[in-house]
Chains A and B, each alone.
Chain A
C-alpha cells in the first residue's frame, strides 16, 4: 500500500469555524490532490499540487484553500466551515503527469459541519 495518511480521520465542527485537514505521504510523489466524495457525485477535485508551493484549483475550490510547504505534506483548510462542506475528504498522490500514472488514495477524513 502507498504510504498515505490523513488526519484527523473523523471531525465534527460547528458552522463558521476554520478546519484544517492534513495529508502526509512517504512516497516522495510530486503530485498531491484533495477530493471530496458525496453521494451521486463520485469524487470531485478541490485543489491539487504539482510541487512545493505550487498549487492549482480544481472543480469545487470555493471555500477551500491549500498549502504545501514540504513534499510530504498537503494541507486543506476550510476557512469558515459550512454545512455544505459536510463530506468525506480524500487525499491522493501521483508520481507523474504522464497519463499512464494512476493515483493512490489515503483512507479519507469524514467531516461533519453542524
Chain B
C-alpha cells in the first residue's frame, strides 16, 4: 500500500538556520502531496500542498517541490524562527479517500 517516510528527528536548529526535512513516498498513480504543521496542544494545520509533478507549494517562507522522479517532497525554509518550533507531517492523498501520513518530525528552534 501507499506509504510516507520522513526523518523523525528531533531536529534542533538555531534561529535563522536553513531547514530541510526530507520526505519520500510510495504510491500507485499520481497522489497529491501535503505538509501539515502541528503546534503544541493543537490539531494539524495545512502548511502547503502540490497536486502534480514539478509543482512547488509555498507558504510562510516554507517550500516543497513535488519530484516524481525521486518520489520526494522535501520541506525547506531559508531562515527558521523560534515560532516555527512544531511537529511537521508529510502526507499524501491518492485518487480515493486515502490520506497517508508520515510519523512526523519534531523541530525545535533555539534563540
- List residues of A whose CB falls within 8 A of some B CB: 4, 31, 33, 40-45, 48, 50, 90, 92, 94, 97, 99-108
Chain A residues with CB under 8 Å of B43's CB are: 4, 90, 105-108
Q: A44-B101, A92-B99, A104-B46 are in contact. List 6 more A-B contacts (CB 8 A).
A: A4-B43, A31-B97, A33-B99, A97-B96, A102-B93, A105-B44
Chain A residues with CB under 8 Å of B94's CB are: 99
The answer for the CA separation of A33 and B98 in the assembled complex, in Å, is: 10
Instruction: Give the contacts of B76-111 with A (CB-CB under 8 A).
Output: 89, 93-99, 101-104
The answer for the CA separation of A68 and B39 in the assembled complex, in Å, is: 29
Are B102 and A42 closer than 8 Å at their CB atoms? yes
The answer for the CA separation of A48 and B99 in the assembled complex, in Å, is: 11
Q: Provided the pairs A99-B31, A100-B32, A100-B51 are in contact, do residues A40 and B42 lie with their beta carbons within 8 angstroms?
A: no
Are A97 and B97 closer than 8 Å at their CB atoms? yes
| Chain B: interface residue total (CB-CB under 8 A) | 27
| B25 interfacial by beta-carbon distance below 8 Å | no
Chain A residues with CB under 8 Å of B4's CB are: 42
B102 CB to closest chain A CB (Å) equals: 6
Are A42 and B101 closer than 8 Å at their CB atoms? yes
The answer for the CA separation of A34 and B43 in the assembled complex, in Å, is: 12
- List residues of B whose CB falls within 8 A of some A CB: 4, 8, 30-32, 34, 36, 41-46, 49, 51, 89, 93-99, 101-104
Are B95 and A102 closer than 8 Å at their CB atoms? no
Are B104 and A103 closer than 8 Å at their CB atoms? no
> Which are the 6 A-B pairs with shortest beta-carbon distances?
A105-B43, A42-B101, A42-B103, A43-B101, A100-B51, A99-B32
Chain A residues with CB under 8 Å of B104's CB are: 42
B23 CB to closest chain A CB (Å) equals: 12
Chain A residues with CB under 8 Å of B45's CB are: 105
Q: Choose from B30, B41, B99, B103 the contact partner of A103 (Cβ within 8 Å).
A: B99
